[in-house]
Structure 1
Amino acid sequence: MIPFLRSFWSEPPVAGAPRRVWRDWALVAILTAASVVEVVVRPDIPFRWLSFAVALVGIPMLLVRRTHPLHAVAVVYGAALVMDVPWLVRGADPPGLYTNAFVLLVAYALFRWGSGRQALLGLIPMVAVATLALIFDYTGPSEAIGGSAVFLLAIAAGVAMRYRTRARATKLDEIRAREREGLARDLHDTVAHHVSAIAIRAQAGLAVAATDPHAAVDALRVIDAEATRTLAEMRTIVRDLRQDAPAELAPLPGIADVRELARTSPGEPQVHVALEGDLTGVPASVGAAAYRLAQESITNARRHARRASRIDVVVRTGDDAVTVEVTDDGEVATRDGEGYGIVGMVERAERLGGTCTAGPRDGRGWTVTAVLPLRGASA
């Protein structure tokens, strides 16, 4: 219990507490009018205008109950103490209005919006009012239990809404973090793939510029096309990052688009793509992951595989999973397995319940193998 109280004491106020809205003004107006009617109609209220004055002090505090909950509690329950104590000491029923039930809203707001310190401090005047009522105006256990239950229910509702909102905010933060990770992977895959192709073609163009101007012009055309694709895909990613931008309607890349990687990756080493199995039943999320894994693997092979002449991409669709296998025939060299590219591929596969491994082949070359369960689309 003590650790919980310490933890609750250190809790900050709930962020985003709404300020006064029209409903608050309407509530204050209705309660004020109801208090006037009650004072005029009820004959059993002693010093009725004094009771009305106390209500007028407390009711406006509903306007600040969310932004300044402790102040609202102090004023409302302080006024109740000042009003009730003389009557309770004399053994008489304290004057009060039925509309004073709004004090429950103030108690709720304190535990819903206030800091832990404010909530625990605000309990002092609340408990004082309740204790005095039990001591000097005790009418039986049923009324005491009923009144306490209503009071505790208001506090419990405030605490429940407080933690429910926090849990929802935590979940939204986790979703945003996963979205940012996915966008970071897409940005890395897109930029790395196209920029690698641009660099390769630029090097080839420089090598033949003096002897074969036409080949150099072809290289420039490829560079222009790759740059255009890079800008288009980056605009899509930036549009996803902007909350106020219209939704992107372009479909996700899928397994069928893996063939395009051979066409958009000209030069050495050559890329050969083979698609096996039924592609029609592959969920969009699995197809997009397979495409990105193949794209990143091709980029890594071109970046690291020395003297490679061929990159083979094989995508097999089975009954339960899609397997992506990318191999090259380059010289096996030390590759940075901790780079973001490999880490991103492993994370992408694991998000769908699959696996991704990378390592040297027997003899020569490098292999990346990813297995993506079809059921992972619903994960």
Structure 2
Amino acid sequence: MKAPMGVLRDAFARDLALAAVLTVVAQVELALADDVEGPRGWHAAGFALVTGAVALRRRAPLAAAAAGAVGITMSTLAGEVPGPVAPLLSLILVTYAVASYSSMRRALAGLAIVLAAILVYPLVARSTFGDELGNLVIFVAIWLLGVAVRRREQRAAIAEAEVARERAEHEAERARAVRDERLRIARELHDVVAHGVSGMVLHAGAARQALTTEPEAAEASLLEVEAAGRQSLGELRTMLTVMRVDDTMPGDLVEAAVERAREAGLAVDARIVWAPEALAAETVLAAGRIVQEAVTNVVRHAQGATRVVIDVEDVGASVRVRVADDGRPSGDPRPGLGLVGMRERAAALGGEVDAGPAEDGGWRVEALLPRGAS
């Protein structure tokens, strides 16, 4: 995971400041040191190179390690300087950096370069095996610490990316849930409004035709319009109640659909064999809406329909719904929102809806819904 450019600039500025401080300290140490072997200018250049490498420890870790190793080697070959701290600290920093900020291949190359520079000292000066082994152990330990920190940060970055991915998936799932809920509400509103308005339009048309010749019939039709409007409002309240409370049982929409078919002048052959209170609320609601939508389609689209068959039966693990009429389909034969809504409603419960021409003429809608838990 790459850091933002602003963060990198700030880190480089801090490294540059640290390198400047270490450079000043190293030169002061050299100026105050006694018994310096070899030319001081050569030592000063070597110290400046190793302390200046700190400025690149994050931007170019391998180059910083190489520069530090060259600087230490220059000073070692020039002669001995008693007790310099800043150059040693700078070499430790670039060793840690090459392990912490590089790939494993570059980190190993950086370690090899630093250890090679350290091993130059016993070649030109007298030192014990214990001293050199101690130096090697110190720098290897610093390098291993850098590798451990790098791996920990990588694991943290992977974990952070996983959390971000899960959060994005959760947001996407929530967006899908909101979209599905909007579609469900649209279907519910379509069912209620289409069913109620179609009945109102039917009775309003009858009232208009009888207004001048049969005032009493016109008044009766207008009363039906009023009753249909009141019923639609009641169904809207029921729908909103069911949306708010999952375990609220909806009204008996099947019986209401049967009554609406009779009011439309259709001969109704109804066989209702179920106990809604023993079924899951969503199954009862889906069955009622399917019957209601199918009856509405008969009233609105079936030309010449005089009879409708409505069967709702609890058959053990399922509820079977069938609505058939003897009319002729009119208009666009393709399924509209009503039939699509039936199928989606059934599919959401694990059921299915089949619709098409009946064998004896007319149109039929058949649904099989899972019974669900009461």
Category of TM-score, reference length = shorter chain:
0.5 to 0.7
Deviation string 1:170-204 (CA, Å, 9 cap, x unpaired) is 11111112111211111111111111101111111
Q: Return the offset for 1:80.
A: 4.1
Match in the other structure for 2:221: 219
2:295 to 293, 298, 303: 298
The answer on 1:262 being equivalent to 2:258 is: yes
The answer on 1:162 being equivalent to 2:164 is: yes
Matching residue's letter, 1:185: R
2:200 to 198, 213, 237: 198
Higher Cα Rg, which structure: 2
**Alpha-carbon contact 1:259-1:273 (below 8 Å) kept:** no
1:331 to 328, 335, 356: 328
**Alpha-carbon contact 2:265-2:306 (below 8 Å) kept:** yes
Q: Return the offset for 1:217.
A: 1.3
Over the aligned positions, Cα root-mean-square deviation in angstroms equals: 3.6
* Residue ranges of structure 1 left out of the alignment (5+ in a row): 1-7, 10-68, 97-125, 242-246
Match in the other structure for 2:351: 354
Task: Provide the rounded CA distance (Å) in 2 between the counterparts of 1:238 and 1:83.
Answer: 67
Matching residue's letter, 1:259: E
Q: Secondary structure at the match of 1:139?
A: helix
Matching residue's letter, 1:369: E
Map 1:16-165 onto structure 2 (within 5 A).
70=4, 73-85=7-19, 87=51, 88=54, 89=68, 90-92=87-89, 127=101, 138-140=139-141, 142-165=144-167
2:276 to 264, 274, 279: 279
* Structure 1 pair 237–373 and aligned structure 2 pair: CA distance change class (3 A): closer
Matching residue's letter, 2:257: L
Task: Provide the rounded CA distance (Å) in 2 between the counterparts of 1:181 and 1:343.
Answer: 11
**Alpha-carbon contact 1:194-1:227 (below 8 Å) kept:** yes
Match in the other structure for 1:102: none
Matching residue's letter, 1:151: E
Q: Between the two proteins, what is the percent identity of the paired residues?
A: 27
* Structure 1 pair 193–257 and aligned structure 2 pair: CA distance change class (3 A): closer
Q: Return the offset for 1:230.
A: 3.1
Matching residue's letter, 2:319: V
Q: Secondary structure at the match of 1:344?
A: helix
**Alpha-carbon contact 2:253-2:285 (below 8 Å) kept:** no
* Structure 1 pair 280–233 and aligned structure 2 pair: CA distance change class (3 A): closer
Match in the other structure for 2:46: none
Q: Secondary structure at the match of 2:250?
A: coil
Deviation string 1:69-101 (CA, Å, 9 cap, x unpaired) is 8265235533443245454443415999xxxxx
Task: Provide the rounded CA distance (Å) in 1 between the counterparts of 2:367 and 2:171.
Answer: 34
Match in the other structure for 2:313: 316
Matching residue's letter, 1:170: A
* Structure 1 pair 325–305 and aligned structure 2 pair: CA distance change class (3 A): same
Paired positions, count: 276
**Alpha-carbon contact 2:353-2:367 (below 8 Å) kept:** yes
**Alpha-carbon contact 1:272-1:313 (below 8 Å) kept:** yes
Q: Return the offset for 1:251.
A: 3.3
Q: Secondary structure at the match of 2:328?
A: coil
Matching residue's letter, 2:265: E
Match in the other structure for 2:37: none
Task: Provide the rounded CA distance (Å) in 1 between the counterparts of 2:205 and 2:268.
Answer: 18
Task: Provide the rounded CA distance (Å) in 2 between the counterparts of 1:186 and 1:157.
Answer: 43
Deviation string 1:264-321 (CA, Å, 9 cap, x unpaired) is 4523224454311443321111111111111110011111111212222110111111
Compute the TM-score of the two structures, normalised by the length of structure 2. 0.63
